[in-house]
Structure 1
Amino acid sequence: MTAADSAKPTGPFARASDWARGHVPTRETIEANRFLRPVAHRILVPALWRFHRRSVPRGVALGILAGILFPFAHMALAAVLALPLRANVPTAVGTTLINNPVTFVPILATAYRLGHWVLRLDHQVPGHPLVTNVKANSGWLHWVVAQGGPATIVGLVLIAVTLSIIGYGVTSLIWRLRIARKWRNRRS
């Protein structure tokens, strides 16, 4: 066993690291990709790939927002939106994984309940009601258009905005605490 083999990490993190190295595109493969070639000069700006105190919390907030609001193609959307917002691209893309096959149904169910509560669909509004009586029009499509869809959309927006703000704040706080610890260790 050589010194290089003993320094190599072992366990599940090592396997994940090896898998990521083999599947994550390199700078050269992004530059060579014919679909990305027209925008490669914008995507490969080094500032978008550095981890610093402003870009990482932006990336977290953007990734959560894109991951919850757009269940499909959220990684590509987060990467594209990270460019003008100067957010960290890997963080934005990685954070979109908050919405995955395990969390998709609970997020939608919570969004529906929250939207239903916010819109108060159970109460009759005096004058012009927001939604007609569902029992009179018991078709599934009518329910989706009249109650399910609007309630879920409102709930998703509320969840996405709230979690993005929390993610931004927590990431900024963790970053600040980490830097403070480094400064304390440097002084001692």
Structure 2
Amino acid sequence: MPKNTLKSITPSPERMQSIKSLRLLGDWIYATNLWHINRYSSSMAFFVGLFVAFMPIPGQMVLAAFLAVLLRCNLPLSVGLVWITNPVTMPAIFYLAYRVGAMIVDVPMQPMEFELSFHWLIHSAEAIWQPFLTGCFICGLFFGSVGYFVISILWRMRVARMWRERKKRRKKALSSGPGSTPQQAQASPPESPDK
């Protein structure tokens, strides 16, 4: 995964430090290692962000920031990925988690009619809390692990491709003749097909 792409989608340190709820972490969020982008910090940040995104709790950003500090991974990526669960995606994500949890706990799915009220939340949570929380935990672990391995593999593939390209450039520079530098080999025009 290109560093520049990750840098472009992550919030700046100034933006992250201006979030009031993250001030609970004090000076810990100012550690420079939490802002670097490398294979470990990016992969682990995807795990943390996706895992916490499936947790049905308020303060997901604070939990993601705390785990990023604890695991020494990229703080902005961890906190930014939590926003996968937003008011638009939350019903589908939590319904998926409930279905997975009901299948694992081996309980029949309860028919529900959704209402946006505290009364509905209390009464339906009483019936579905165990499969719902189990599903959230399992889905968080699964999607977090998938994110970790996908980013790690993409990162390794990019590094391997860059090394191959570098090797080709060096080989081409060496084959262009003694005394020529790699910069001269790249600047020289290609030979015409007539020769």
Residue among 26, 39, 42 paired with 2:26? 39
Query: In the aligned structure 2, how far is the partner of 1:25 from the partner of 1:179?
Result: 26
Q: Which residue of structure 1 lines up, in the alignment, with residue 34 of structure 2? A: 48
Alpha-carbon distance between aligned partners in 2 of 1:77 and 1:157, rounded to the nearest angstrom: 14
**CA 1:38/1:170 → structure 2, altered by over 3 Å: closer, same or farther?**
closer
TM-aligned CA deviation for residue 65 of structure 1: 0.9
User: Which has the higher Rg, Structure 1 or Structure 2?
Assistant: 2
The amino acid that maps onto 2:14 is: T
Residue 161 (structure 1) aligns with: 141
- Tell me which residue corresponds to 2:14: 26
Secondary structure (helix, strand or coil) at the match of 2:54 reads helix
Q: In the alignment, which residue of structure 1 is the partner of 2:157?
A: 177
Q: Provide the identity percentage.
A: 31
**TM-score where L is the length of structure 1:** 0.68
Query: 1:109 and 1:175, CA in 2 relative to 1: closer, same or farther beyond 3 A?
Result: same
Are positions 1:144 and 2:125 aligned together?
A: yes
RMSD between superposed Cα atoms in Å: 3.1
Q: 1:49 to 1:178 in 2, by over 3 A?
A: same
Equivalent residue number for residue 79 of structure 1: 65
Q: Please report how far the alpha carbon of residue 70 of structure 1 lies from its aligned counterpart in structure 2 after TM superposition.
A: 4.0
Query: Counterpart of 1:162 in structure 2: which amino acid?
Result: F
Q: State whether residues 54 and 94 of structure 2, in contact with CA within 8 Å, keep that contact through their aligned partners in structure 1.
A: no
Give 5+ residue unaligned stretches, structure 2.
1-7, 109-119, 169-195
Q: 1:67 aligns with which of 35, 53, 59?
A: 53
**Residue identity opposite 1:166 in structure 2:** V
Query: Given the alignment of the two structures, is residue 109 of structure 1 paired with residue 90 of structure 2, yes or no?
Result: no
Unaligned runs of 5+ in 1: 1-16, 123-139
Deviation track 1:44-65 (CA, whole Å, cap 9, x = no partner) reads 1111110011111111100111
Corresponding residue number in structure 2 for 1:133: none
Correspondence for 1:6: none
Aligned residues: 149
Report the CA distance shift for 1:43/1:96 in structure 2 as closer, same or farther (over 3 A). same
Instruction: Please tell me whether the aligned partners of residues 13 and 35 of structure 2 are also in contact (alpha carbons under 8 angstroms).
Output: no
Q: TM-score, normalised by structure 2?
A: 0.66
